[in-house]
Chain A
Amino acid sequence: MDYIRAFLMGGLICAIAQILIDKTKLTPARILVTYVTLGAILGGIGVYKKLIDIGGAGATIPLLGFGNSLAQGVIKAVEKDGLIGAFTGGLTATAGGISAAIFFGYIFALMFNPKTKK
């Protein structure tokens, strides 16, 4: 059951992005920036948590979930440490994903070469 819900939630989020790409002048890079910002806002006002309760990984895997993690991390850190948490919480909560992206990204870029365009 959780697989069906993850499929539907993740699929829906990607389908909306596809409509935005096809129907507006938004490029994929702008979609990603929009999604991470929107995810942070939805996370900040507590709405995104409900989407995660419904969709599980379907809500955390899209970049909206990355924005939500930033916001949740900040809120948690502010609760604990006060105002300084606004500056420490976001990257602390997302450190794993960002570090992995930098490290694996660099390693695989060294190991592989771009396929020659056919």
Chain B
Amino acid sequence: MERDVKKEQEYKNIAQKYEPKPTLLKNVVMAFIVGGLISDIGQFFLNFYLSKGFSMEDANTLVAITMVFIGAFLTGIGVYDDIGKFAGAGSIVPITGFANSIVSPAMEFKREGFVFGAAAKMFTIAGPVIVYGVSTSILIGIIYYFLK
């Protein structure tokens, strides 16, 4: 059978139109929504602790502790990873994701022992975060001391 080049091209054009678009937009929207919702949960607890008479500083610390607790618990029961599948950065960047990055490898490596398994692997991601965060803050403190 003779090939109809024109028809083939036409078909390609139509097919291209219906191909799924790159998932970037969807990923970004999901990250936005989930990140926003987790922030709202944090805002809820912040308002709650402030209403109980805590100072802004203490309330923020309590919110961090509460959110870490929730993130660690949801990771333990396996829900956080389900959220992560569609939320991407929306579940990674909030402090609940920091807790997730601790519990997840700790559970995974528990069978390799409680010291070099669970306890050591807890810091696979949290360790670098603390190293860079604390080191940067020390540099800022030194600079601030000499500039102020």
Contact = CB atoms under 8 A, between A and B. Distances in A.
Contacts of A37: 132-133, 136
Given A58-B36, A90-B133, A66 B142 contact: no
B31 A14 contact: yes
Given A57-B46, A57-B63, A109-B107, A11 B27 contact: no
B63 A83 contact: no
Contacts, number: 279
A76 to B, nearest CB: 10
Given A44-B144, A96-B61, A101-B102, A61 B134 contact: no
Contact of B119 (A62, A90, A106, A111): A106
Interface residues of B, number: 79
A33 B42 CA distance: 22
A35 B42 CA distance: 19
A105 B43 contact: no
A103 B24 CA distance: 36
Contacts of B119: 106
Interface in B88-133: 88-90, 92-99, 101-104, 106-108, 110, 114, 118-119, 122, 124-126, 128-130, 132-133
A113 to B, nearest CB: 6
A74 B125 contact: no
Contacts of A35: 93
Most buried by B among A23, A85, A100, A115: A100
Interface in A72-118: 73-75, 77-79, 82-83, 85-87, 89-91, 94, 96-98, 100-102, 104-115
Nearest to A45: B140
Contacts of B128: 29, 32-33
A54 interface: no
A41 B89 contact: no
B39 A9 contact: yes
A9 to B, nearest CB: 7
A58 B107 contact: no
A57 B45 CA distance: 9
Interface string B20-48: 00001001111111111111101111110
Given A14-B94, A33-B128, A102-B122, 9 more contacts: A12-B32, A18-B28, A28-B125, A57-B43, A62-B39, A67-B136, A104-B68, A108-B76, A109-B110
